[in-house]
Amino acid sequence: MRLIQALQTPFLIGDGANGTRVAELGFTEQPYDLANLLAPELVRKVHEEYFDAGADFVETNTFQANAIRLAGLHIDPYAVNVAGANLARLAAGERLVLGAIGPCGKPMAPIGHISEAEVSAAVSAQAQALEEGGVDGFMLETYIDMAELRVAVDAVRSVSSLPIIVSKAYIEDGEMLAEGLPVRCAQEMADLGVVAVGANCIVGPQRMLDLVRMIAETTELPILAMPTPGMPQLVKGRVTYDTAPEYFAKAAARLVEEGARLIGGCCGTTAEHIRQLRKELGRGPARVKPRAQITREARERAPIPQSEPSELGQKLGKKFVVAVEMDVPRGLNLEKLMAGAKALKISGADVINVSDGARARLRMNPAAVSSILQSRVGIEVVMHFSCRDRNMLAIQSDLLGWHAMGIRNILAVTGDPAHIGDYPSATSVFDIDAIGLIRILSRFNEGIDLAGYSVGQKCAFTIASAYNPLALEPQFELDRLKRKVDAGAHVIYTQPVFESSLAEEVAETCAKLNVPVFVGVLPLRNARHCEFMHNEVPGIRIPDRLRTEMAEAADDAGALEIGIREARKLAATIKTCAQGLYLMPPSNGHAIAQCVIEAVQ
């Protein structure tokens, strides 16, 4: 094969960025891959610029051209990829063309919603189209998730025998280098049976130098190195790079000395950067340093220290736990909430649950409330965490910050969509759901983030999750419960139940999954409250005999007595079959909760 033969040469020079250059030429649609169909003359011009500058190969303008990224655009991914390959081939003539395939653009399960099967189908279809368009091989680049990269390689190999090059993106981080992540990832990539491995994007040529050194310690395969010119900046709404081509060329040329055999540029690099790189490498043969293994052992990951576990985590399975949910006020006044929490602590509550914008209503940040309760009241908190408002970066950043603040108990919830709440025009994020959030928390408990980078020590999150035993689709809900447990949930909280038989059934279900359960109990306040919960709140079913009794009560005070009586009976049953009671008193009624707690003392 032509690519295999070309890899026998001392080095090959690749191209630079496609998308940003097409944008400079006037193409404004997103993603830039659409230019293959909408502005093919610009795409071909960019390829020709790189070949004129001295590139030995170019990549197709198809980095984002998979069915997952293009979903909803009414664009045929096959057409985008075939056109991209054809345009690159027309510009290349007899020179090399690599079919660019990037990540699917969304977190893959179990972190996100995209299944391995969906990723595999998207990548295999893309690879087929690229091969039909005339590529010499494939470049699977800018991958962060090694699991997704493995799926992508298998998908390409299922439809094509053309050679595959794989490349991972690494962050600009000295600790990541010090603890040896590139060494481990390079070995994983080499084990995939590909023809070359490497790194691209995110970092500039100096940090790329460190990456190449570490990769060279691990494999004898040809190494690819395609850095950015440097750090980007935002100018008039556009990401721009302002690195002199001469500097880039001198710095990138050193990559060959460290063992890189495929050299080019990523985001922000232009034909002028490649021209100067060709000029620099043409001054004479590079003195390639021998690959060494002597520093590898020193870079193996050191044991990660363990954080102190939460009190709740230590109580699970050893003590019947009483958890009480308190609503966060709309404004700033927390005095009533703190007074209620103090009273509940005295009455025997173990933890206070703090919700996170339930029903998409504007409330104070739950982390602030949780921190105040823990520090001023001295009772541990289980903080609800909604996936609605945060992207993948913010989720991990917030969790690490809250762990440092002492918030160790997290109830993972997907969250309600923003359009049903106080601000219907607000944007929902939902990068992941509750299952993905549990997986992130579990990774932090292992001492690593989603990208595999160390976070310095093993976190000690106690991971809680929700279960609705009366969901509209019970089998689907049960399947999700099993996935939550598999992802690392330590304890399950249920929606409120109103029948002892259902409480016992829920306890039995969770016992089979070997996970503790806190069964929910909501004392009913009056007949209106009863009918509202039964008819308007999903997942709530109140037996007819209780609805009738509430409706026939002489007044609200009498109805409340009935509600408390029923809640106490349920609580007593729950203590015999479950590991905890999850009380949800109406209107933050801590006095009501105290009456129910007495039944399990």
Q: 198-235: b or e for each residue (b if 16 or more CB lie within 10 Å)?
A: bbbbbbbbebbbbbbbbbbbbbebbbbbbbbbbebeee
Residue 295 has pLDDT above 50, yes or no: no
**DSSP state, 283?**
T
Helix (H, G, I), strand (E, B) or coil at 243: coil
- Does residue 31 or residue 217 have the better pLDDT? 31
The yes-or-no verdict on residue 298 having pLDDT over 50 is: no
Residue type, 382: V
Fold of 14-162: TIM Barrel (3.20.20)
CA max distance for the chain: 98
What tens digit of pLDDT does each residue of 452-507 get?
A: 888 989 999 999 999 999 998 999 999 999 999 999 999 999 999 999 999 999 99
Q: Please give the C-alpha separations between residue 405 and each of 37, 309, 338, 374, in angstroms, as whole numbers.
A: 51, 13, 19, 10
Tell whether omega for the bond before 232 is within 30 degrees of 0, i.e. cis.
no
Nearest to 385 by CA among 400, 360, 367, 359: 367
Q: For 425, what's the count of Cα atoms within 13 Å in the CB-facing half-sphere? A: 0
| DSSP single-letter state for residue 529 | H
Pick the residue with more confidence: 151 or 421? Answer: 151
What would the mean pLDDT of 510-516 be, rounded to a whole number? Answer: 97
- Number of neighbouring beta carbons within 10 Å of residue 502: 17
Where do we find the tokens 């940090």? 207
Question: Which one, of 246, 212, 310, lies nearest residue 11 by Cα?
Answer: 212
14-162 and 311-519 in the same fold: yes
Give how far the C-alpha of residue 276 lies from the chain's centroid of Cα atoms, to the nearest Å.
Answer: 38
- Answering whether pTM is above 0.85, one says no
Nearest alpha carbon to residue 209 among 164, 248, 267, 243: 248
Domain 311-519, CATH: 3.20.20.220
Confidence bin at 363 (pLDDT 50/70/90): confident
pLDDT for residue 296 is more than 60 = no
d(CA 370, CA 113) in angstroms, rounded, equals: 29
Reduced to 3 states (helix: H, G, I; strand: E, B; else coil), residue 227 is coil
Given a cut of 70, whether residue 95 has pLDDT beyond it is yes
Domain boundaries defined on the chain: 14-162, 199-300, 311-519
Q: 543 and 498 in contact (C-beta within 8 Å)?
A: yes
pLDDT exceeds 80 at position 83: yes
Q: What does the pLDDT read at residue 390?
A: 86
When pLDDT is averaged across residues 209-229 and rounded to a whole number, the result is: 92
* Average pLDDT score over residue span 251-266: 92
On whether the CB atoms of residues 42 and 27 are closer than 8 A, the answer is yes
* Distance in angstroms (rounded) separating the CA atoms of residues 286 and 406: 53
Question: Are the C-beta atoms of 559 and 491 separated by less than 8 Å?
Answer: no
pLDDT in tens, 319-353: 999 999 998 888 888 999 999 999 999 999 999 99
Q: For the packed helices 205-216 and 245-257, what is the interaxial angle rounded to 10 degrees?
A: 10
- For the cut 60, the answer to whether the pLDDT of residue 587 exceeds it is yes
R_g of the chain, CA atoms, integer Å: 29
Among candidate residues 422, 359, 413, 352, the one with its CA nearest the CA of residue 386 = 413
Res. 226 pLDDT band, cuts 50 70 90: very high
- Please give the mean pLDDT across all residues of the chain: 91
For the stretch 158-187, pLDDT in tens is: 999 999 999 999 876 655 666 678 888 999
Mean pLDDT score, 283-305: 62
CA distance 188 to 203: 21
Residues 6+ apart with CB under 8 A from 307: 403, 408, 457, 458, 459, 460
**Quick one: pLDDT at residue 109?**
85
Burial 57-95 (b: 16+ CB within 10 A, else e): bbbbbbbbbbbbbbeeeebebbebbbbbbbbbbebbeeb
Average pLDDT (340-368) is: 89
Indicate the residue type of 148. Answer: E
**Cα 428 → chain centroid:** 15
Strand partners, 376: none
pLDDT score of 420: 66
Six token digits for residue 10: 């001392």
pLDDT band at 290 (very low <50, low <70, confident <90, very high): low
Closest CA to 374 of 331, 403, 397: 403
* Burial class of residue 472, CB neighbours in 10 A (0-12, 13-18, 19+): exposed
**Closest by CA position to 559, among listed 568, 550, 567:** 550
